[in-house]
Structure 1
C-alpha cells in the first residue's frame, strides 16, 4: 500500500533537492565573476614617454668607437686618446680597446694615457696604470719609464716606487737609465736633505746612483753635477766630493760658478780662481 505524503511535504523535498544540485554545480564548475559596470578597468601600460637622453660625452664616446674600425692599431688608439678633451672619456676608450680581440696596448698607448691622466689630475688612475706597466702589461720603454719616475718623484708616498722602477730599468735591455733618469732621482733625493742627520741616510743613495751612472758610461751635465756636489756639501763631505770628480776618466770638468759658491757657503772654502780638474 503506497504511502501518500502530503503536498506540502513533497514540495519541500523537491526544493531541497534542487538546492543541493545547484550548490554542487557551482562548486564543480565555478564561473568567473562578472565585473560590475562601476569598476574601473586599468588602461594598458605605455612605454616610457621620456627616456634618458645620452650626454654629449656618451655621444662622443660612441662616435670614437665607431671611428675605431675593426683591426685598429696602437697608433689609432693614441690618436683617439689625444683627441679627447676629457681625461675620463680617454680612460674609457683606453679600457674599451684593451678588451677587444686581437689587440694589446703597447708602451706608446700607456705613455699617452699616463700623460693624459697626470695632466688631468687623475692621479689614482695614473697610479693604477703605472702598476700595470710594472707588472708587465706592455714592453719597457725609456720615455715611458722616465715619465713614470717623474710622476712618482712628485708624489711623496710614491718615493720608494720611483726606485723600484729604476731597478727594473737597470735589469731591462731596452730601457736602461739615462741622464734624465738620474737627474730625476737625484733631485728627488735632495729634497729630503733638510736636516744633517737625515742627509747621511740619503747620501748613501746618492753615492750609489753616482757609481752606477759612471759604470753605465753616462756623463753628468752641469745640473747633475750641481746636485751631487750639493749632496756632499750638505753632509760636509767635501773631500769625498773632490774624489768623486777624480773618478771620471778622460773628462775635463770646469766647475760651474754655483759649484764654487756652494762649497764656500757650506764648507768655508775659498776659491781664488777657476779650477780645472782632469780625471786620470
Structure 2
C-alpha cells in the first residue's frame, strides 16, 4: 500500500469518527497530518505547466492581420522577407511564415527561412526555431540553402546549448555538393567557440577535445585554411584538457605549416598551461618569444608565472616577476600575493614577507581590505615563527 492510499484511509477514519479531538484555538488542518511529499510532485508539475502556459507569448491578432494586409494577393518570397524584417514581434514573424506556407503557389526560399530563424533565435524561441530548421534540413534539393543560413542556425543552436544539433547541421553542410553551402572557416570557429565555452571539468574537456580534434581534421582535409582564431582554439583546448605538448606542437606549426602568426592570446594560453604543470623553464622560453614579438603578457600569465616560481622555491624570481607585472599595469590577484608571502615564511623569511606586504600596500598593489587580509593570514599561520624571529611586536600590531 503506497503513501497516498494510506493517507486517504486515515482521512476516512477521521471523517467517520465523531470523537476525533478538535481544538477550537487550532482548527483541524489536513496538511498537518499528510506526509510532506504527499501529492507535492504532481502539484508542482501542474503548477509548472500553468506557469509555462502563462509565460508563453500570445499573438497580437490585430497587429498580425495588419501585417497580412500589406501583402499582395500573389506575394513573392522577397515581399515576405521585407515584411518579416519590419516586424518587432517574433511571434508575428512565425505566424507570417506559417501563413505563407499555407498559401497556394508560394514556396519559401533561403531568405524567408533565414530571416524567420534569425527572429526566433534572437528571441530565444528555440522550440519554434527548431521546427523551422527541420523544414530546412528536410529539403531534398541539394542546391537549397547557403553557408550564411546554416551558420546562423549553428550560432543560435550553440547559444541555446544545443551542441548536438549544431554538429548535426554541420554534418548536413558537409554532405551537400554545392560549394556555397559547405562549411567555411566561420562555421568551424563558431563550433570551436561553443565547445570551449561549455567546459566545466576535466572530463568534459577530454570529451570535447576529441570532437574539436575531429573538426580540425575535417577542416584541413576539406581544404579550409585555419586562421589564428581556429589555431588558438585548438591550443586553448589542448591546454584545458592537459595536453600541453599538443598545444606546443600547434604553436610551432603556426608559422610553418599554416602560414599564420601567433598573437598575444596564443602565448598567454601556452604560458598558463606550462606554469600549471610546473614547467617554468618552457614557460620562460615562450614568454621570451612573446616579448620579442612586442607582446606583453596578460595578468593571468603573469600571475601564473609568479605562483609557479614561488611554489618551486624561487621566491626572489617570483618577486621580480611580480614587480614587472605591476610596472606593466597588470592586476595582481590575492592568491598570487598570498602564495609569495606564504612561500617566504615557509623558508624562514618572515621579515621579507612582512616587508613585501608593506610594500604592496605602499605601491597600492593591494587595497586596505587585501592588506588587512594578508596580515591576518600571516598572524594566524606564522605567528609563532614571527615571534621566534624577534618580530612579536610587529605581528601583534597586525591585529589593529
**Same fold flag (TM > 0.5):** yes
Distance 2:241 2:96 in 1: 50
Give how far 1:70 is off: 2.8
Matched, 1:150 2:155: yes
- Which range moved further: 67-76 or 57-66? 57-66
Query: In structure 1, what is the equivalent of residue 378 of structure 2?
Result: none
Deviations 1:117-164 (A, max 9, x none): 1233433211221222222288222111111111111122x2111100
Query: CA distance change for structure 1 residues 249 and 76 in 2, over 3 Å: closer, same or farther?
Result: farther
Deviations 1:17-65 (A, max 9, x none): xxxxxxxxxxxxxxxxxxxxxxxxxxxxxxxxxxxxxxx9434433433
Query: CA distance change for structure 1 residues 90 and 201 in 2, over 3 Å: closer, same or farther?
Result: closer
Query: In structure 1, what is the equivalent of residue 272 of structure 2?
Result: 265
Query: CA distance change for structure 1 residues 240 and 69 in 2, over 3 Å: closer, same or farther?
Result: same
Query: In structure 2, what is the equivalent of residue 132 of structure 1?
Result: 135
TM-score of the superposed pair, with normalisation by structure 1: 0.71
Give how far 1:205 is off: 0.8
Pick one of 79, 87, 90 that aligns with 1:87: 90
Query: In structure 1, what is the equivalent of residue 297 of structure 2?
Result: none
Query: In structure 2, what is the equivalent of residue 168 of structure 1?
Result: 172
Distance 2:81 2:156 in 1: 20
Matched, 1:215 2:218: no
Query: In structure 2, what is the equivalent of residue 49 of structure 1?
Result: none
Answer with 1 or 2: which has the greater Rg: 1
Give how far 1:248 is off: 8.1
Distance 2:205 2:67 in 1: 52
User: Which has the larger share of helix?
Assistant: 2
Distance 2:176 2:80 in 1: 26
Distance 2:104 2:255 in 1: 52
Query: In structure 1, what is the equivalent of residue 118 of structure 2?
Result: 115
Pick one of 232, 254, 272 that aligns with 2:261: 254
Give how far 1:219 is off: 2.3
TM-score of the superposed pair, with normalisation by structure 2: 0.51
Pick one of 148, 157, 163 that aligns with 1:159: 163
| 1:187/1:227 contact within 8 Å kept | yes
Query: CA distance change for structure 1 residues 248 and 204 in 2, over 3 Å: closer, same or farther?
Result: farther
Distance 2:242 2:145 in 1: 39
Matched, 1:101 2:117: no
Query: CA distance change for structure 1 residues 219 and 146 in 2, over 3 Å: closer, same or farther?
Result: same
Any residues of structure 2 matched to 1:177-192 within 5 Å, and which?
177-192=183-198
| 1:214/1:248 contact within 8 Å kept | no
| 1:152/1:162 contact within 8 Å kept | yes
Structure 1, unaligned runs of 5 or more: 1-55
Task: Name the count of aligned residue pairs.
Answer: 220
Query: CA distance change for structure 1 residues 247 and 172 in 2, over 3 Å: closer, same or farther?
Result: farther
Distance 1:198 1:86 in 2: 38
SS state at 1:67 partner: coil
Query: CA distance change for structure 1 residues 84 and 142 in 2, over 3 Å: closer, same or farther?
Result: same
Distance 2:255 2:176 in 1: 25
- Which range moved further: 145-154 or 232-241? 232-241
Give how far 1:240 is off: 2.1
| 1:232/1:241 contact within 8 Å kept | yes
Matched, 1:68 2:74: no
| 2:101/2:108 contact within 8 Å kept | yes
Structure 2, unaligned runs of 5 or more: 1-58, 276-282, 294-400
| 1:114/1:126 contact within 8 Å kept | yes
The CA RMSD measured in Å over matched residues stands at: 2.4
SS state at 2:216 partner: helix
SS state at 1:182 partner: helix
